[in-house]
């Protein structure tokens, strides 16, 4: 996994509450058996006027000009400002894969849906929860000036707004550690294999029916 330490980037404001994972990446694109290539279909129904198909070239498709990512001033954005309950709905990891593939590194919102929030960390993408007023301020500052950049510092757990205001955020130590160092958490868990085996032995004793070959 790519490490995340400190990131400075253009912020794009997506001013919509309850953005669900069907909006982030519609179902027809989930048929892929790969982890990459979802970026061109990120927010497909918000971004394009027609119905997108897997394996379709997107360059010539009619776009919705008013959608934030279609505006020239937000081309190349790598920080997404969002509203409450971002990422609600399905568990599809294709949602963070699509955001990552498009070029986003961090998403800032007043709240996230649990599964989506969790999935981001597995993909080097940092979801940040700030107070609603702080998110409002970022939206206002980003709208004010073209090219406004936001600094996300994971080590110090701060977001710095274009005007220099600094907001602190919380993140679990373990997730922070994995993200800072780009660690594969399967490898880390497997270092605990003896603890897992000890648990299994005890459990086999307490609840043997859970370990029988099926149907016996």
Partner 1 sequence: MSGKTLYDKLWNSHLVQQRDDGSALIYIDLQLLHEVTSPQAFEGLRLAGRKPWRVSSSLATPDHNVPTTKKERISGVDGIADPVSKIQVITLDDNCNEFGITEFNMKDIRQGIVHVVGPEQGATLPGMTVVCGDSHTSTHGAFGALAHGIGTSEVEHVLATQCLVQKKSRNMLVRVDGELSPWVSAKDVVLAIIGAIGTAGGTGYAIEFGGTGIQSLSMEGRMTVCNMAIEAGARVGLIAVDDTTIEYVKGRPYAPKGEHWDMAVEAWKDLVSDKDAQFDEVVVLKAEDIKPQVTWGTSPEMVIAIDEPIPRPEDQKDPVKKEGYARAWKYMGLEGKTMLGDVTLDRVFIGSCTNSRIEDLRIAAQVVKGRKVASTLKQAIVVPGSGLVKAQAEKEGLHEIFEAAGLEWREPGCSMCLAMNADKLGAGEHCASTSNRNFEGRQGFGGRTHLVSPAMAAAAAIAGHFVDVNEFVKH
Instruction: Round to whole Å and give the CA distance between 132 and 176.
Output: 23
**Smallest gap, in angstroms, from Cβ of residue 8 to partner 1?**
27
Asked whether position 2 contacts partner 1 by CB under 8 A, the answer is no
User: Token pair of 65, please?
Assistant: 């000009």
Among 7, 45, 56, 149, binds partner 1 (CB under 8 A): 45
Place of tokens 């605990």: 192
Of 20 and 153, CB closest to partner 1: 20
Residue 111 is given by DSSP the state: -
Of 164 and 187, CB closest to partner 1: 187
What spatial distance separates the first Cα and last Cα of the chain, rounded to whole Å? 41
Asked whether position 78 contacts partner 1 by CB under 8 A, the answer is no
Residues 6+ apart with CB under 8 A from 71: 65
**What would the x/- binding string for partner 1 be over residues 112 to 151, using CB under 8 A?**
-xxx--xx--xx----------------------------
Asked whether position 23 contacts partner 1 by CB under 8 A, the answer is yes
User: Interior CA angle at 85 toward 104 and 25, to 5°?
Assistant: 50
Place of tokens 């909006």: 23
Binding site for partner 1 (CB under 8 A): 16-18, 20, 22-23, 26-28, 30-35, 45, 51, 54-55, 83-85, 88-93, 96, 111, 113-115, 118-119, 122-123, 172-175, 184-186, 189-190, 192-193, 195-196, 199-200, 203, 206-216
């Amino acid at each position: 996994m790519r490490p995340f330490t400190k990131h400075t980037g253009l912020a794009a404001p997506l001013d919509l509450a309850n953005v669900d994972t069907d909006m982030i990446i519609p179902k027809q694109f989930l048929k892929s058996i790969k982890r990459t290539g979802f970026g061109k279909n990120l927010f497909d129904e918000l971004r394009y006027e027609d119905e997108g198909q897997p394996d379709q070239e997107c360059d010539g498709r009619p776009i919705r000009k008013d959608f934030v990512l279609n505006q020239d001033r937000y081309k190349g954005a790598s920080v997404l400002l969002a509203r409450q309950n971002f990422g609600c709905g399905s568990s599809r990891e294709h949602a963070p894969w699509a955001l990552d593939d498009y070029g986003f590194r961090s998403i800032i919102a007043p709240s996230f849906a649990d599964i989506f929030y969790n999935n981001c960390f597995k993909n080097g993408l940092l979801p940040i929860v700030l107070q609603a007023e702080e998110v409002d301020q970022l939206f206002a500052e980003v709208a004010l000036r073209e090219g406004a950049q936001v600094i996300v510092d994971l080590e110090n757990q701060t977001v710095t707004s274009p005007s220099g205001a600094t907001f602190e955020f919380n993140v679990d130590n373990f997730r922070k550690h994995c993200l800072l160092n780009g660690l594969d958490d399967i490898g880390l868990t497997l270092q605990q294999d003896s603890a897992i085996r000890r648990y299994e032995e005890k459990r086999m004793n307490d609840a043997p029916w859970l370990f029988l070959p099926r149907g016996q």
